[in-house]
Amino acid sequence: MLKIINVVGARPNFMKMAPVMEEMRLRADHLQPLLVHTGQHYDEAMSDSFFEDLQMPRPDINLEVGSASHAEQTARVMMAFEKVLKEHQADWVIVVGDVNSTMAATLVAAKMLVKVAHIEAGLRSFDRSMPEEVNRLVTDALADLLLTPSPDANENLLREGVAQEKIRFVGNVMIDTLYRHLEHAKSSQILERLHLNKNHYCAMTLHRPSNVDDRATLTGILDALNAVQERLPVVFPIHPRTRARLDEFGLQSVVEKQRNLIVTEPLGYLDFLQLYSNSRLVLTDSGGIQEETTALGIPCLTLRQNTERPITVTQGSNRIVGNDPEVIKREAWNALDNPPAAMRVPDLWDGQAARRIVDAIEEAGQ
Ligand code: UD1
């Protein structure tokens, strides 16, 4: 029996872990998984609704660390997770993505000599001002099994001196979840609720500290948004960090003035899938949404200076446009007037990544 502790913490982790948990349940005769939620995200909209939408089992253990500074949040996860690892003898700890919880759980397991598998290993933005880049570097330096979503990730790891035999190209597990729920998402009433016509609106998300924590930058993005919403309605589900900054900077009125800007609370997985999969254009600074739009061929503008997911640009529908308002406006016009030609879905973004992931863990064994 292989004892496995699966760790999730924040919103973008849940859709990556769901298919892995499902695959492990199918192998219950020889795998014994435990699900630990660090509690980094804790709101109904940022956490609970995802467990429902994805039909994921409730966590066996919730560490309830909540929000705090980077150091404090990381430390709280480490202290609580160390107790879990002491109590439950595990052969493997499985971590996903690049959030603080990912790095914290990896550090604890490495010091307790428990093997770590990192799902979505090897992605690099080469920008250490992003907290996620630091999390990726630390996690990959310590992990025993590095499960990559794209060939560029393998190249990054090899360049950093990671041994070839620790690296496995398994594909993109978030796309397993996307394909699995595409049909189901059609029952969402989000388009009716917001009075939207398919292919006649844009969807936007924004939460990176580099975009929302600086008043001038956030004001510039709202200015670009104003121009886009004059052409087509824009739906903007607001992340809690962004909501807090809009209040702090007194920018709520700038948002409210925009007639065609539809602001909502953060949406659940199925509502958001139905929303972006029927949109004409997506504007985002998220990592995962760059991949989801590529898988579906929806034009995407990424409001960042770089991406750790270059395959979404070279093969997919993504363009990196930064956060200069004039550039965003120009690129949005361009994308609306000249939608990109057909793109190619990257290799192994085929809905079967979870099976390859669990195979790789089993092969690595105890
Ligand atoms: C985190 C991840 C980021 C990921 C994002 C998705 C890190 C370093 N960052 O950023 O990679 O893209 O999640 O959302 O791990 N808050 C709530 N309710 C919640 C969670 C957060 O109100 O359930 C508020 C709190 O005020 C908190 C702020 O949002 O201080 C930021 O939350 P935090 O988890 O620190 O980082 P995110 O910006 O969400």
* pLDDT value of residue 290: 98
* pLDDT value of residue 363: 97
Atom of ligand 1 nearest to the CA of 100: 15
CA distances (Å), origin 272, targets 176, 222, 246, 277, 279: 16, 21, 22, 8, 11
CA distances (Å), origin 256, targets 23, 264, 272: 45, 12, 22
* pLDDT value of residue 255: 95
pTM tops 0.95: yes
Q: How far apart are CA 18 and CA 50, in angstroms?
A: 10
| Ligand 1 mutation target, pool 241, 269, 302, most atoms within 8 A of CB | 241
Residue with tokens 């020889």: 30
* pLDDT value of residue 159: 98
Q: How far apart are CA 45 and CA 265, in angstroms?
A: 8
Atom of ligand 1 nearest to the CA of 131: 8
The CA-based angle 301-305-308, given to 5 degrees, is: 85
Among protein residues, the one with the nearest Cα to ligand 1's atom 27 is 67
* Tens-digit pLDDT string for the chain (366 aa): 999 999 999 999 999 999 999 999 999 999 999 999 999 999 999 999 999 999 999 999 999 999 999 999 999 999 999 999 999 999 999 999 999 999 999 999 999 999 999 999 999 999 999 999 999 999 999 999 999 999 999 999 999 999 999 999 999 999 999 999 999 999 999 999 999 999 999 999 999 999 999 999 999 999 999 999 999 999 999 999 999 999 999 999 999 999 999 999 999 999 999 999 999 999 999 999 999 999 999 999 999 999 999 999 999 999 999 999 999 999 999 999 988 777 889 999 999 999 999 999 999 998
Q: From ligand 1's centre to the CA of 10, what distance in Å?
A: 7
Instruction: Identify the sign of the CA torsion 360, 17, 103, 107.
Output: negative
Q: From ligand 1's centre to the CA of 241, what distance in Å?
A: 7
| Ligand 1 mutation target, pool 37, 38, 40, most atoms within 8 A of CB | 40
Question: Shortest CA distance to 265 belongs to which of 245, 236, 237, 284?
Answer: 237
* pLDDT value of residue 366: 84
CA distances (Å), origin 302, targets 215, 218, 299: 19, 15, 10
Q: How far apart are CA 109 and CA 361, in angstroms?
A: 16
* pLDDT value of residue 81: 98
* pLDDT value of residue 271: 98
Dihedral angle computed from the Cα positions of residues 159, 110, 103 and 359, in that order, rounded to the nearest 10 degrees: 70
Among protein residues, the one with the nearest Cα to ligand 1's atom 20 is 41
- Residue 27 falls in which region: left (phi positive, over 0), alpha (psi -120 to 50) or beta: alpha
Q: From ligand 1's centre to the CA of 78, what distance in Å?
A: 17
* pLDDT value of residue 340: 75
* pLDDT value of residue 341: 74
Q: Catalytic one among 41, 181, 207, 239?
A: 207
Question: Shortest CA distance to 273 belongs to which of 175, 349, 346, 345?
Answer: 175
Q: From ligand 1's centre to the CA of 240, what distance in Å?
A: 8
Residue with tokens 């695959």: 23
* pLDDT value of residue 339: 81
Which DSSP letter does residue 35 get? Answer: E
Which residues have C-beta atoms less than 6 Å from ligand 1? 10-12, 40-43, 46-47, 67, 98-100, 131-132, 207, 239-241, 244
Q: From ligand 1's centre to the CA of 276, what distance in Å?
A: 21
Which DSSP letter does residue 198 get? Answer: T
CA distances (Å), origin 115, targets 53, 110, 195: 30, 7, 50
For residue 186 the two structure tokens come to 């059609």
Q: From ligand 1's centre to the CA of 41, what distance in Å?
A: 6
* Kind and range of the H or E run holding 77: helix 70-87
Atom of ligand 1 nearest to the CA of 101: 15
Atom of ligand 1 nearest to the CA of 12: 6
Atom of ligand 1 nearest to the CA of 45: 23
Residue 316 and residue 298 in contact, taking contact as beta carbons nearer than 8 Å: no
* 181 noted as active-site residue: no
Q: How far apart are CA 327 and CA 143, in angstroms?
A: 39
